[in-house]
Structure 1
């Protein structure tokens, strides 16, 4: 990882960054949720702007999503990974690029991405907001490698 090379992806332009795990099932979600629950002090669960105790299962989170605006926020260092439970077929977290200001922050981000890939056994992508195929970096759980693509164009795949 070369911070000067990847730093432009974390410059603030008013948009967020997204972390995607595609082609997921409720079982994959359960693995992710159980991982987040391990460190409850890092996890906030909010429904309709009110903080509540995180549900014990991801199924409960999806049930709440049907009636309320729900957000789970997982804190790692100064980074906040937000999940809104949009669909069971895709795990998505958003994060503010302003929270990634140097190599230490990148290492925490990379650690989170790797953890997500390892627990689901699926590729995990860091992308520009709302552009799941504008990939900045991708973790492959088979090879245990994270590939940065600092010159990747919008719409181009790794």
Structure 2
């Protein structure tokens, strides 16, 4: 997939600079979008594991069911779109698909390409941007899948203030 070059975005994947795992999200979502994500995981053949209260559940429930669980039970879906690349989705609210990745798993051009392919697959399925920003900094995305361009791009830094 054409687009990002490691040398141009390396700073966004530096764990020492970015700190904690970045926040990734799809805003303006719905339970139907969550279900589309679950369907994508299954159709893509990505390895996954669903858990509640830290206990693995043998099969992934429908999105509406997972979203109806109390947040304090920690319903989460771990997805491995490639060996050594894990994304953790947390079912907190239907309106926002939140997930995390480990920046240490995303070092170098090959890993960046896998990550961009993953974000693009999600964005295409949902027809929405998939944004990445520093943890705890909502509204300050630094990278994301742009549906209009059909690729992942580095986003301009917001003005100070």
The TM-score normalised by the length of structure 2 is 0.85
Contact 2:79 2:87 survives alignment (8 Å) = yes
Cα distance between partner residues in 1 of 2:44 and 2:8: 32
Q: How many residues in Structure 1 have an aligned counterpart in Structure 2?
A: 155
Instruction: Check if 1:141 corresponds to 2:154.
Output: no
8 Å CA contact 1:134, 1:154 repeated in 2: no
Between stretches 105-114 and 12-21, larger displacement belongs to 12-21
The 3 A distance-change label for structure 1 pair 40 and 144 is closer
Give CA-to-partner distance per residue, 1:77-135, whole Å, 9 cap, x none: 31110011111001111111111111111111101111111111111112111223221
User: Offset of 1:143 from its aligned partner?
Assistant: 2.8
Contact persistence 1:133–1:154 (CA under 8 A): no
CA distance in 2, matches of 1:50, 1:39: 24
5 Å-filtered alignment, 1:53-92, equals: 53-65=58-70, 68-77=73-82, 78-92=84-98
For structure 2, the 5+ residue unaligned runs are: none
Q: How does 1:8-157 map to 2 (within 5 A)?
A: 8-13=11-16, 14-39=19-44, 42-65=47-70, 68-77=73-82, 78-149=84-155, 152=157
Displacement of 1:16: 0.5
Which of 3, 7, 24 is equivalent to 2:10? Answer: 7
Q: 1:53 to 1:154 in 2, by over 3 A?
A: farther
Following TM superposition, by how much is the alpha carbon of 1:58 offset from its aligned partner in structure 2, in angstroms? 1.0
Q: Residues of 1 paired with 2:48 and 2:94: CA distance?
A: 20
Distance 2:89 2:125 in 1: 17
What stretches of structure 1 move > 4 A for 4+ residues in a row? 153-156
Under a length normalisation based on structure 1, what TM-score does the superposition of the two structures give? 0.86
